[in-house]
Amino acid sequence: MIHAKSGDDYFLQQMVATAFTGTVHSVFQHALNIQRDGNGEIFTLATKAMDRAPNTLVIDLDTFDHLDIHQYDRVLVRHNQLLIEEKLQIAIHTATRWQCQLPIYPLNRTSLRMNMSSVKQFIDLQGKGGGIKRNDSPVNEFEAETSRLLQQRTTLLYEEILNQRLDRFQAYAADLVGLGPGLTPSGDDFLVGLFAVIHLENSPCSIYKPLCESVIKMIQPLTNEISYTTLKKAAYGQVRESICSFIHAILYGTEAESIEALRKVLAIGSSSGTDIALGLISGLEANIKLGG
Amino acid sequence: MSIKVVIKRNTYFDSVSLMSLSTKANQIEGVEQAIIGMGTEMNKGVIRNVGLMTPEVEEATAGDLMIIVKTTSADQTESAYLAVEELLTNKNKAQAKSDIKYATIDSAAQGIPDANFAVISVNGAFAVREARKALENDLHVMLFSDNVSVEDEVELKTLAHEKGLLMMGPDCGTAIIGNTGLCFANAVRKGNIGIVAASGTGSQEVSVRIHDFGGGITQLIGTGGRDLSKEVGGIMMLDGIKALDADEATKVIVLVSKPPEASVEKKVLAQIKECSKPVVVYFIGGNEEAVVAAGGQFAKTSKEAALKAVLLAGIDEAGINKRALNIPLVEEVRAKLAPEQKYIRGLFCGGTLCDESMYLAMEKFDNVYSNIQKNPDFLLKDINVSQEHTFIDFGDDDFTNGKPHPMIDPSSRIDRFLQEAKDPSVGVIVMDFVLGFGSHEDPVGVMLPAMIEAKQLAEKEGRHLEIIGYVLGTDLDTPNIDEQVKKLIDAGVTHASSSTNAGLLAREMVLKGENHE
């Protein structure tokens, strides 16, 4: 029996209060995705090395390798235990509840302005290329063309926000969805970062909040189910813990605290962390320009 | 131009694996362009833009994995695609099923009554239970898993000791038992030298050097890195020495470790005194006097340990190529380096290889920093930023949390390499490339474009950048060591013939105004 360490409030509620059944959608070393019967929503089991996140249960396990769990294995919840066939039993009641709480955009932006340049410099130096951050030597024409389109479309979206135009936001955001070769495409990751900034309370960009929610309704076929779930949550202001901590650090922390928190974001996936961070930076830069 | 497209329905690889596969696929001979990615509409648009659209690609959906291979001629396409497919298959090998599958240690022990050895690699939560079961079934154990408490380690090793069994690990990554390499080990000749090691790449290096000097191995017993701590008390190293002492085929014993805790070192040295066979002791940064007083043969470097062992094992010294240091090359590089190019940057996959080069540098410099320095004053403040002479172990937890070990996926150090190569205060960059079971299939190849780019950049800026590469492996290993070395030499990289020589070359090349060794 494995014990759950921490769980997203909504996920825990779904498991306890409803008849939760599903199938294994995909298995990686540190994450296992479950697709719920009925509405097809994706929920994630994460190993203890991972941070807390929406729709995610962090469990006291090092790896999902060698558990012999396969796509389409049955998942069900019984008596406070989540069961995957006879291969994994997880005690749910041990999980502490967690919910993403984004910080409030500050009235005093001194820290943000101070932290911004060092954070950008750090991403420039340590961020992973191949996605939003262009690689000096792309591995092939496909990567070069993807980078070109990402740059072009993220710039269009940024300028749209600066101009406070609402009519093209959805179209420009949708043009980014599914763009990039990774499991969570770079365009999706960028939007996760941007949506998080839009959802900060008092954010000068917050006029786009309703549009984030409506854009989600049109993009489901454009990306895979795993990335769509992350995007959908971000469109309602729900992002993983490391992103939340980074936003807090860059708004209120010191330079060193910002870099420390940024490292954890950059460690997400291959280039995903860098793409998310650049989405955050884009949103924060727009905020500074719009709100002073 | 010829294109092959395969769409795998509802197939998901994590981003790190996808990127790594994509990089490798584009390096396959004959491949002009390889794309491995999800079949989203936007990605399909990019594929259209670069002229690779086909009807199969059109039909892919966002949950499908697309594999597109473009070659210059049709006769190359199938073989290039098969090579890409093999990469994907290898990625899934961890989940491959063996011919006979047992659900438990108990059933495996009953199903194969002649078995006397278990290799256990399960997640930490189950590792202790499974290892205990194996010992209770009278099986020797190699425990690859980590995240086992020190209390559990002591309990398991005590149980093994009482039953006269080997308990190798936890966190034991290298062993050669009965001429079979396990986990990360190299293909070496069978011989009469036994090794007991608390260090993975350290034992790989010593076994490889013994092979190179014409000797061979009886057994390589790994103990796990924590065995020589005060808490564990060297239980496995002491039992390992006794086992090799009792083994008729073993004529010489070599011990490999970072320096043990003082009270444990005493116990090990006392055991050497009782041993009937010569024992070579290579404890990095260890105390020569104490070893000699115990009747052991002290070795300061891995190369010296191997050389002493083969000589004691009866190999004729006259026939050994000792791979002397290339002194004229050292002089040549010194002359090329500008006065401000003062520093070494060591970027290693192997922890002990990193340690060895670092200790050699510390003999001449007092400003040697690392992420694995014992002296806290010289621990890197920020592991991502080098200071003066810096030696990085990319296999350390700082770099591997949630990522593959650099011996499996060496791409993690490419970015750092390029960063160091741009630093005008750097004279020499030294790196290891580890071959053998479990390692990357082309460790030099994956680094090659970055090394060429760095050399070109330095040349453009009018400075000489010296890159030293050491390939840890034997002529029996896969991939072929000669091909790996040739790739280095063709790229203008200096090939070091051993871990020791790599450290010495790096150190001597940046020494200013002093005599080299």
Cα radius of gyration (chain B): 24
The residue whose two tokens read 């901590």 is A245
User: Contacts of residue A25 in chain B, CB cutoff 8 Å?
Assistant: 12
Partner residues linked to A27 by β-bridges? A32
Q: Which residues contact B375 (CB under 8 A, 6 or more apart)?
A: none
ipTM of the complex: 0.91
The residue whose two tokens read 């009866």 is B314
The whole-angstrom distance between B261's CA and the closest CA on chain A is 29
pLDDT, residue B93, reads 54
Binary contact (A224, B38; C-beta < 8 A) = yes
Q: What share of chain A is helix, strand, coil (3-state, %, to 5)?
A: 50, 15, 35
Ranges of chain A with pLDDT below 50 = none
Binary contact (A183, B13; C-beta < 8 A) = yes
pLDDT, residue B179, reads 83
What ranges in B92-142 are assigned the alpha helix state H? 105-111, 124-136
pLDDT, residue B517, reads 46
The whole-angstrom distance between A280's CA and the closest CA on chain B is 20
pLDDT, residue A40, reads 93
Selected residues 35-64 of chain A with any CB under 8 Å from a CB in chain B = 49-50, 60-63
pLDDT, residue B98, reads 38
Other C-beta atoms closer than 10 Å to the C-beta of A207 total 14
Does B321 lie at the interface with A, CB-CB under 8 angstroms?
A: no
- Can you tell me the distance from the alpha carbon of B515 to that of B322, in angstroms, rounded to the nearest whole number? 22
Secondary structure (3-state) at A27? strand
* Tokens encoding B146: 């980590």
- The residue in chain A having the minimum alpha-carbon distance to the alpha carbon of residue B14 is A183
Binary contact (B62, A224; C-beta < 8 A) = yes
Q: Which residues contact B58 (CB under 8 A, 6 or more apart)?
A: B44
- Can you tell me the distance from the alpha carbon of B379 to that of B342, in angstroms, rounded to the nearest whole number? 20
Q: Which amino acid is at B22?
A: S
pLDDT, residue B95, reads 41
pLDDT along chain B (517 residues), means of 10: 89 81 83 91 94 94 92 84 81 48 73 85 83 94 90 96 95 91 91 96 96 96 95 97 96 93 94 96 92 95 97 94 94 95 96 95 96 94 95 86 72 87 97 88 90 94 96 92 95 96 97 60
- The residue in chain B having the minimum alpha-carbon distance to the alpha carbon of residue A147 is B46
- The residue in chain B having the minimum alpha-carbon distance to the alpha carbon of residue A70 is B95
User: Contacts of residue B416 in chain A, CB cutoff 8 Å?
Assistant: none
- Can you tell me the distance from the alpha carbon of B138 to that of B117, in angstroms, rounded to the nearest whole number? 8
The whole-angstrom distance between A279's CA and the closest CA on chain B is 18
Partner residues linked to B70 by β-bridges? B3, B33
- The residue in chain B having the minimum alpha-carbon distance to the alpha carbon of residue A273 is B15
User: Contacts of residue B35 in chain A, CB cutoff 8 Å?
Assistant: 140, 142, 181
* Tokens encoding B182: 């396990």
User: Contacts of residue A63 in chain B, CB cutoff 8 Å?
Assistant: 123
User: Contacts of residue B12 in chain A, CB cutoff 8 Å?
Assistant: 25-26, 28, 183, 224, 226
Q: A65 — phi, psi (to 5°)?
A: -65, 150
pLDDT, residue A69, reads 92
Under a CB-based contact definition with an 8 Å cutoff, are residues A267 and B402 in contact? yes
Per DSSP, the residues of B181-216 read EEES-----EEEEEEEES-HHHHHHHHHHHHHTT--
Partner residues linked to B142 by β-bridges? B119, B168
Q: Which residues contact B424 (CB under 8 A, 6 or more apart)?
A: B340, B341, B461, B463
The whole-angstrom distance between B289's CA and the closest CA on chain A is 43
**Among A170, A182, A161, A179, which Cα is nearest to A212's?**
A170
pLDDT, residue B496, reads 97
Binary contact (A181, B22; C-beta < 8 A) = yes
Counted across chains A and B, CB pairs separated by less than 8 A come out at 134
pLDDT, residue B94, reads 42
Under a CB-based contact definition with an 8 Å cutoff, are residues A49 and B401 in contact? yes
pLDDT, residue B99, reads 46
Does A287 lie at the interface with B, CB-CB under 8 angstroms?
A: no
- Can you tell me the distance from the alpha carbon of A212 to that of A210, in angstroms, rounded to the nearest whole number? 5
What's the predicted TM-score (pTM) here? Answer: 0.56
Q: Which residues contact B28 (CB under 8 A, 6 or more apart)?
A: B34, B80, B83, B84
The residue whose two tokens read 């500074």 is A288
**Among B508, B467, B509, which Cα is nearest to B488's?**
B467
Residue B224's region, left for phi above 0, alpha for psi from -120 to 50, else beta, is left
Under a CB-based contact definition with an 8 Å cutoff, are residues B228 and B257 in contact? yes
pLDDT, residue B101, reads 61
